[in-house]
């Protein structure tokens, strides 16, 4: 669009667009059927003036890609695949649990569409559906989509092509501070821990004193930050107090389930939950992912005294940022390279990705050969 308000077409793509379900939802038309009928020589059964639009629809494209790695593609098998459903929810997909996302095709998993009588309702339904959409086996962009749908700027429609760089200037990562979804995540961690302890103490045939009482007061470590809480049963629910705020909450979650639903004041929220080593959880809600660990006050005191494991130094290594095939290595052992010079080319998802030197140096060893299939973070070469 120019400064005078004139519109000009850069191109016209005369095919079905990937966003066509949005048009179908607000018009009630089946665009695929209409295209087939037109191709068979039939005329369109309506005029432009007869087309009516009602309500709002929004589509989220669920991809096998890693938002934390600048949206690089991911491959692998869908070990778990639990798509959402509900009022106004439509899912267009061609995958299923056990299907494989390969390096040879576009990594689109599904198109999740939410419809409502107005924009706010459509977005609310989309947010709920994203929380309910569970995928394991590949990296995916559901948390990123949920974070976008939760932002006030998106809800207001104040969008531009700079939206991602402005809203996530350091890349997509868990918020550094406490945010609103953390309230639900804390509650989910406390309830999950309680349900597991109830299961453990209910086991028959235990040795004397093996079960022990369930402590009322505990500590939730949320990404290492400490939040004291108390929890006690009250009828079919639990009275949970976290940082002075008391809430009556209930859940039907059982250990092993991947979705934990929390009811608070007639409101239901869904948290994705995975158990991790060390009696910890991986919890995701509203686009926020946290590692949570529930400890007794004494265990939390002792944990604070434990030395922290240092991350391995990988500055001397060139790692594959994505799964794919090593197309070529354009340097040799002993060669001097400057920052920014190409080192290797990795093919993935029908694209060539040139890996460049992050600093000046000399090539010490080449650890992979052209034609090799690479995993994420596999070493390609090593600097001196």
Active site residue 11: yes
What is the CB neighbour count within 10 angstroms for residue 353? 17
User: 198-236 b/e with 16+ CB inside 10 Å = b?
Assistant: eeeeeeeeeeeeeeeeeeeebbbbbeeeebebebeeeee
Neighbour-count burial of 175, counting CB atoms closer than 10 A to its CB (0-12 exposed, 13-18 middle, 19+ buried): middle
Indicate which residue of 11, 50, 166, 332 is catalytic: 11
Contact assessment for residue 324 and residue 311, using Cβ atoms and an 8 Å cutoff: no
SS3 content of the chain, % helix, strand, coil (to 5): 20, 35, 45
Contact assessment for residue 249 and residue 261, using Cβ atoms and an 8 Å cutoff: no
Greatest extent of the chain over all pairs of C-alpha atoms, in Å: 84
- DSSP class of residue 173 equals -
Torsion of CA 130, 131, 133, 136, to 10 degrees: 120
Sheet containing 56-63, strands listed edge to edge, beginning at the edge strand earlier in sequence: 56-63, 108-116, 89-93
CA proximity to 134, closest of 177, 85, 179, 195:
85
The DSSP bridge pattern shows strands 324-329 and 373-374 to be antiparallel
Contact assessment for residue 275 and residue 170, using Cβ atoms and an 8 Å cutoff: no
In sequence order, what are the residues at sequence separation of 6 or more whose Cβ sits closer than 8 angstroms to the Cβ of residue 132? 82, 84, 85, 86, 259, 270
- The C-alpha atoms of residue 279 and residue 295 are separated, in whole angstroms, by 9
- The C-alpha atoms of residue 187 and residue 356 are separated, in whole angstroms, by 45
Neighbour-count burial of 301, counting CB atoms closer than 10 A to its CB (0-12 exposed, 13-18 middle, 19+ buried): exposed
Catalytic residues: 11
């Amino acid at each position: 669009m120019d400064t005078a308000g004139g519109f000009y077409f850069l191109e016209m793509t005369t095919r079905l667009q990937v966003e066509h379900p949005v048009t179908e939802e607000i018009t009630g038309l089946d665009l695929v059927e209409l295209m087939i009928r037109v191709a068979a020589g039939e005329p369109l059964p309506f005029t432009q003036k007869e087309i009516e639009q009602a309500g709002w629809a929004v589509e989220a494209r669920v991809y096998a890609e890693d938002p934390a790695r600048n949206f690089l593609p991911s491959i692998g098998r869908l070990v778990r695949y639990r798509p959402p459903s509900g009022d106004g929810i439509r899912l267009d997909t061609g995958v299923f649990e056990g299907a494989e996302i390969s390096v040879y095709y576009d990594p689109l998993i599904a198109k999740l569409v939410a419809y409502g009588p107005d924009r706010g309702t459509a977005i609310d339904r989309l947010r709920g559906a994203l929380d309910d959409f569970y995928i394991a086996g590949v990296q995916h962009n559901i948390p990123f989509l949920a974070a976008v749908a939760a932002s006030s700027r998106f809800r207001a429609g104040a969008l531009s092509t700079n939206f991602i760089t402005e809203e996530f200037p350091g890349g997509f990562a868990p918020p550094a501070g406490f945010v609103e979804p953390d309230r639900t995540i804390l509650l989910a961690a406390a309830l999950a821990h309680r349900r597991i302890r109830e299961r453990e103490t209910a086991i028959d045939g235990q040795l004397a004193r093996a079960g022990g009482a369930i402590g009322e007061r505990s500590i939730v470590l949320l990404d290492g930050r400490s939040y004291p809480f108390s929890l006690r049963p009250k009828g079919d629910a639990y009275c949970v107090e976290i940082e002075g705020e008391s809430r009556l909450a209930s859940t039907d979650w059982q250990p092993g389930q991947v979705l934990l639903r929390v009811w608070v004041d007639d409101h239901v929220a869904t948290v994705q939950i995975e158990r991790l080593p060390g009696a910890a959880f991986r919890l995701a809600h509203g686009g926020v992912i946290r590692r949570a660990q529930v400890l007794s006050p004494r265990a939390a005191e002792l944990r604070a005294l434990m030395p922290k494991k240092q991350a391995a130094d990988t500055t001397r290594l060139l790692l594959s940022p994505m799964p794919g095939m090593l197309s070529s290595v354009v340097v040799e052992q002993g060669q001097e390279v400057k920052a920014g010079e190409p080192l290797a080319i990795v093919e993935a998802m029908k694209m060539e990705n040139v890996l460049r030197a992050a600093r000046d140096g000399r090539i010490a060893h080449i650890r992979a050969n052209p034609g090799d299939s690479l995993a994420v973070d596999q070493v390609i070469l090593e600097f001196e």
